[in-house]
Structure 1
Amino acid sequence: MIQLEHVNLVVKDIPEMLKFYQAVFPHWYVRDEGHGEWSGKPRNWLHFGDEYQYLAISDHGEGENRDLSGHQVGLAHFAYVTHDLDGVIARLTEAGFEIYQNGTDSSYRKNIYFLDPAGFEVEFVEYLTDDPKLRNSDG
């Protein structure tokens, strides 16, 4: 079996990223943190997650994230499955984050998109069926 353990995000502001992801994952915690150097530049970093998966976040980012309305090569978005999409939306909006884009109108799923403070588009999806063939159907 192979599973995704972590995603490494290079950002400008770790505390703002932490505020966003703490709203999404109230049960996660800072697993470890420190500072060092990456390619000649100092950086702070932390791992935010649980025993099974986490986000590695470091603050040595420069420039802006890719234009999500453009066609540049790069990350388009990543997604998390939840059993309580309304709860995720409520926690994020209460923390001051706005919905970036509404999801698809489907009988088989509800989804929504937010931008995190570094400009990464994050999708949250709640499936309304256990049938994998229907989950991404437009039905």
Structure 2
Amino acid sequence: MYLEHVNLVANNIESMLKFYQAVFPNWSIRSEGEGTWYGKPRRWVHFGDDTHYIAISDHGEGENRNLSGHQVGFAHFAYVTNNLDEVIIRLNKAGFVISKDGSDNPFRKNVYFVDPAGFEVEFVEYLSDIPSERNNDL
């Protein structure tokens, strides 16, 4: 079993694509369309590869949850990379900055960015293949 996709509701697909294209330069729009969601028109795209994708719809209203607050809701999701520095460089070149540094850990490096819709995304590079080291909470 594996996670195939996440579905993010935003108010601007193009700004979201700018962020995720910087993260995943080899991904593309797999499919797209238009329709309605409970009576409201929306456009949607599936951005990914043959196995994984992010579904993005443009019918969002209002602000995302306060990431420093305690509201119930989505906190963040994370992607593992083999080269965290390259991801940071690509996002910086696209105009995005790190929102929060990760923990100081000898077995992993991680940072957090906030996408244009306000979703926090963690990027992590593991420096060990030993599960007990990768998953420690030093």
TM-score where L is the length of structure 1: 0.98
Partners of 1:113 and 1:74 lie apart in 2 by 17
1:89-124, Cα deviation, whole Å (9 max, x unpaired) = 000001000110000000000000000000000000
Shift of 1:137: 1.5
- The equivalent residue for 2:112 is 113
Equivalences, count: 138
Partners of 1:76 and 1:106 lie apart in 2 by 21
Report the AA paired with residue 19 of structure 1: K
Instruction: Give 5+ residue unaligned stretches, structure 1.
Output: none
> Partner of 1:99: helix, strand, or coil?
coil
Partners of 1:92 and 1:130 lie apart in 2 by 26
Identity of aligned residues (%): 68
Report the AA paired with residue 91 of structure 2: L
Shift of 1:136: 2.5
- The equivalent residue for 1:94 is 93
Shift of 1:138: 3.6
Partners of 1:15 and 1:104 lie apart in 2 by 31
Partners of 2:72 and 2:130 lie apart in 1 by 32
Partners of 2:135 and 2:84 lie apart in 1 by 16
Superposed structure 1 runs of 4+ greater than 6 Å apart: none
- The equivalent residue for 1:81 is 80
Q: CA RMSD in A?
A: 0.7
Within-5 A mapping of 1:32-111: 32-111=31-110
Conserved 8 A contact 1:46-1:56: yes
TM-score where L is the length of structure 2: 0.98
Partners of 1:133 and 1:80 lie apart in 2 by 19
> Partner of 2:99: helix, strand, or coil?
strand
Conserved 8 A contact 1:105-1:138: no
Report the AA paired with residue 17 of structure 1: M
Partners of 1:117 and 1:16 lie apart in 2 by 6
